[in-house]
């Protein structure tokens, strides 16, 4: 499986920060009910790793890890069942460990120089982070021009209201963000709202 496969099948990737692993399965079911079958569980909280472990068992859901900063975390999330690894920036060591473990790496880039490094590593897909602050869709159009084979997943500042502007860029197969999985919704157990926002996002993407 490749990230392109994932992003083509699901153009909206939720970025999730969980307080407790018990939130994981209800969250996964709420996303699936809204038509989203790919999820990035971040390691920003202690709940992240166990949540990946639980969601890896949920049929139909493709779970990946986010906020992966160092190679040892690659081992942890792959052992927990993560199918892909997303990072806020580009670490050669993390990308190489992903290759060794047989999972797809989606590192973050914010500049042409980092894209040069991504190309030198043989990557053709990156996260563009933080997309809104870096100039939004116009910035991706400009950066994509010389990197003709690169696909970008913008993240950071992407919302329901602007996601179509990003997806209108040919080099953008998918967007990611947290608006459908806002931590306040997860804490409140507002799973119907997660499903509603997910369905709305998928409707806007197609």
How many angstroms separate the CA atoms of 41 and 119, rounded? 26
- In the complex, minimum distance from the CB of residue 87 to ligand 3PG, in angstroms, rounded to a whole number: 10
- In the complex, minimum distance from the CB of residue 158 to ligand 3PG, in angstroms, rounded to a whole number: 6
Q: By rule CB under 6 A, what string of x and - marks binding of each residue 139-178 to ligand 3PG?
A: ----------------xxxx------------------xx
- In the complex, minimum distance from the CB of residue 25 to ligand 3PG, in angstroms, rounded to a whole number: 22
- Per the annotation, the verdict on 159 as an active-site residue is no
Task: Tell me the three state secondary structure of residue 155.
Answer: strand
Other C-beta atoms lying within 10 Å of the C-beta of residue 46:
12
Please give the size of the binding site for ligand 3PG, defined by CB under 6 A. 9
Q: Which of 3, 10, 15, 56 binds ligand 3PG (CB under 6 A)?
A: 15
All residues at 6 or more sequence positions from 55 whose CB lies less than 8 Å from its CB, including other chains? 24, 25, 27, 28, 39, 41, 61, 63, 81
- Per the annotation, the verdict on 40 as an active-site residue is yes
In degrees and rounded to multiples of 5, residue 55 shows phi and psi of -70, -25
Q: Are strands 175-177 and 84-86 parallel, antiparallel or unpaired?
A: unpaired
Considering Cα of 36, then 55, then 13, then 20, what sign does the dihedral take?
positive
Q: Among residues 99 and 196, whose Cβ is nearest to ligand 3PG?
A: 196
Q: Among residues 21 and 154, whose Cβ is nearest to ligand 3PG?
A: 154
Closest CA to 111 of 135, 84, 75: 135
- In the complex, minimum distance from the CB of residue 178 to ligand 3PG, in angstroms, rounded to a whole number: 4
Q: Which of 84, 128, 129, 191 binds ligand 3PG (CB under 6 A)?
A: 129
Question: Where do the DSSP E strands lie in the chain?
Answer: 12-16, 38-42, 62-66, 84-86, 104-106, 108-109, 125-128, 151-154, 175-177
Q: Which of 40, 93, 114, 125 is catalytic?
A: 40
Q: Which of 57, 125, 127, 159 is catalytic?
A: 127
User: What residues are annotated to the active site?
Assistant: 40, 127
**Contact footprint for ligand 3PG (CB under 6 A):** 15, 129, 155-158, 177-179
């Amino acid at each position: 499986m490749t990230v392109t496969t994932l992003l083509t099948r699901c153009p909206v990737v939720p970025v999730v920060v969980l307080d407790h692993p018990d939130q994981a399965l209800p969250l996964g079911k709420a996303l699936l009910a809204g038509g989203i079958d790919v999820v990035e569980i971040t390691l920003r909280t202690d709940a992240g790793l166990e949540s990946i472990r639980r969601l890896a068992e949920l049929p139909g859901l493709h779970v990946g890890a986010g906020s992966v900063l160092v190679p040892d975390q690659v081992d942890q999330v792959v052992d927990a069942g993560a199918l892909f690894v997303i990072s806020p920036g580009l670490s050669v060591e993390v990308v190489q460990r992903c290759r060794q473990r047989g999972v797809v790496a989606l590192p973050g880039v914010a500049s042409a120089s980092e894209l040069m490094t991504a190309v030198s590593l043989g990557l053709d897909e990156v996260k563009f982070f933080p997309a809104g602050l870096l100039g939004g869709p116009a910035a991706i159009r400009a950066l994509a021009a010389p990197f003709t084979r690169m696909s970008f997943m913008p993240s950071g500042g992407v919302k329901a209201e602007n996601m179509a502007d990003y997806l209108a860029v040919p080099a953008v197969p998918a967007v990611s963000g947290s608006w459908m999985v806002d931590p306040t919704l997860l804490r409140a157990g507002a799973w119907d709202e997660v499903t509603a926002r997910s369905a709305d996002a998928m409707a806007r993407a197609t």
